[in-house]
């Protein structure tokens, strides 16, 4: 009887370990940038280190003007793109970036450290849509 109990415990832990390790390899979903009711801008903040990227998504309508302010442009760069319409801003290292939305849809927004900074750094970018 003890042999079966021991085998059951070992089997349980083996399945638990496989399940736990398997969950670490998935890709995280992008954070949705939400605007407070009646507001046309939002501040996104976070901390990055090394080659980490923060991923966001926001919706915009054709013709709207998007402005992104990056007060730490010497430390962080960002990129805006929409694969459905082949729009890609490349890496932006400016304090302020504007573009007119070419088509209604969701746009991806990635923030990353733009230099070889090994220690973590905090970012705070403002995105406005008018």
pLDDT tens across 42-81, in order?
A: 999 999 988 889 999 999 999 999 999 999 998 999 999 8
Q: Structurally, what CATH architecture does the domain formed by 31-129 represent?
A: Sandwich (2.60)
pLDDT band at 16 (very low <50, low <70, confident <90, very high): very low
pLDDT in tens, 77-125: 999 988 777 788 888 889 999 999 999 999 999 999 987 777 899 999 9
Parse the chain into domains and list their residue ranges. 31-129
The residue count for the chain: 130
**pTM here?**
0.73
Distance of CA 85 to the CA centre of its chain: 20
The number of CA neighbours under 13 Å toward the Cβ of 43 is 6
């Amino acid at each position: 009887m003890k042999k079966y109990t021991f085998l059951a415990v070992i089997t349980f832990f083996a399945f638990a370990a496989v399940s736990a390790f398997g969950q670490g390899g998935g890709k995280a979903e992008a954070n949705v940038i939400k605007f407070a009711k009646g507001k046309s801008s939002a501040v996104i903040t976070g901390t990055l280190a090394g080659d980490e990227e923060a991923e966001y998504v926001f919706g915009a309508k054709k013709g709207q003007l998007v402005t992104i302010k990056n007060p730490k442009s010497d430390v962080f760069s960002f990129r805006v793109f929409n694969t459905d319409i082949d729009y890609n801003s490349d890496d932006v290292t400016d304090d302020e970036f504007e573009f007119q939305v070419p088509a209604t849809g969701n746009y991806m927004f990635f923030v990353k450290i733009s230099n070889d900074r090994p220690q973590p750094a905090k970012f705070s970018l403002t995105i406005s849509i008018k």
